[in-house]
Amino acid sequence: MRSYWFWVLMLGTAWTLGLIQLSLDFSELPLRIFGSSLFFGLFFLAPLIRKNLALSFLNFSGMAVLAILVFWPAASAASNLYPLLIFAIIAGKAVYRLPVKAAAGVGTVLVAGALLHSIVGDSGISPLFILLYALLVCAALVFFRKSYIFEDELQERNEALLSEYRKMKRRLLTDEQAARQEERTHIARDIHDSVGHKLTALLMQLEVFRLQAEGDAAEQLQELKLIAKESLEETRNAVKTLKHDEAGGVTAIIGLIRKLEAESFLRIQFSVKHGALSAPLDNEQVVIVYRAVQEALTNVMRHSQAREADILFEAPGGSIFRFTISNKNSGTAPFREGFGLSSMRERIEQAGGEFKVGPEGGLFIVKGSLPLIIKESGLE
């Protein structure tokens, strides 16, 4: 955006100085002002039609013709070099926006117009100077285009490498989790096969001895049997815990989103505050928050030119869990909720929460909140 307004300022300054240098006759002034207004109208229209190559070529060609007509030398006017500077700016924008052949067509129109200025319009500038100037500008623009293409290819290569790096990072994380889970499963199997079976055998023997014993001995054996039974239950619970390595709450959401980030070209900035990591989200709420973040990031990838997003999790007061996803909003089209956002709103409101989405202060923001279950202290 800054670069665009810099070139507008440069073009406007050169254009104004070029008009002043013409020493205009009042009879010619209205036509030149009208042509100038039409030129700048086409110039401001260029970014809006840049994706349509045919319209962009016609637009730049129209600007070139208007510049030639507006700066057609007045009778017995002094030499005016500013039109050549303006032609160079138009040619540079054409090289930046258009394919090689289309940019060459616009450049041909500009060179032909400059030569007509010199030959027919008596601009006071030698045709040889114009040709040398055109060759110099052409060489500079060719060098610029090659550098621009090289930089663009380098950026694509870097993005491809970044994508592969993220895939490798995700694969490493998955392999590490799989190895950890395999080790936990192996430990759980060993505990189940050794300790569990021995405790079961101990319970059976204690039951046999209890049936054979009488009086105090039978009561003591019953107590030992209860202790062994509790130990067996605790062992089984430990085995279940080892077999099911599932994270919960915000930790689960962050893990899932890390996988999403690894699969895309988005750069995600996390912020967690106000006790959000320890927020007691249930399984349904975890799914709701994750789906909301997933939908918001998908919209960023589809509709935004920015490849960055900020995610904030917070739980102020411990009574609600709040999430905010924001990214730079560069679009000017009116916002309308699609099916994904409408479904997200419905799910959050059904869970008793609140949902808000839309542009705000130069950002596109998706935010929602869910009520948390406050655990009782147990005091009466």
Residues of the chain above pLDDT 70, percent: 80
Looking at residues 330-354, what average pLDDT do you find?
81
Supply the pLDDT for residue 152: 82
> Among 41-50, 88-97, 153-162, whose mean pLDDT is lowest?
153-162
Supply the pLDDT for residue 63: 92
Structure tokens at 90: 């138009």
136: confidence class by pLDDT, cuts 50, 70, 90: very high
Supply the pLDDT for residue 246: 47
Give yes or no for residue 244 having a pLDDT over 60. no
Supply the pLDDT for residue 378: 37
Q: Whole-prediction pTM value?
A: 0.47
Supply the pLDDT for residue 156: 84
> Among 64-68, 75-79, 281-285, 364-368, whose mean pLDDT is lowest?
75-79
Residues of the chain above pLDDT 90, percent: 13
Give yes or no for residue 209 having a pLDDT over 60. yes
Supply the pLDDT for residue 330: 65
Looking at residues 282-295, what average pLDDT do you find?
81
SS (H, E, C) the chain: CHHHHHHHHHHHHHHHHHHHHCCCCCCCHHHHHHHHHHHHHHHHHHHHHCCCHHHHHHHHHHHHHHHHHHCCCCCCCCCCCHHHHHHHHHHHHHHHHCCHHHHHHHHHHHHHHHHHHHHCCCCCCCHHHHHHHHHHHHHHHHHHHHHHHHHHHHHHHHHHHHHHHHHHHHHHHHHHHHHHHHHHHHHHHHHHHHHHHHHHHHHHHHHHHHHHCCCHHHHHHHHHHHHHHHHHHHHHHHHHHHHCCCCCHHHHHHHHHHHHHHHCCCEEEEEEECCCCCCCCCHHHHHHHHHHHHHHHHHHHHHCCCCEEEEEEECHHHCEEEEEEEEECCCCCCCCCCHHHHHHHHHHHHCCCEEEEEEECCEEEEEEEEECCCCCCCCC
Other C-beta atoms closer than 10 Å to the C-beta of 275 total 16
135: confidence class by pLDDT, cuts 50, 70, 90: very high
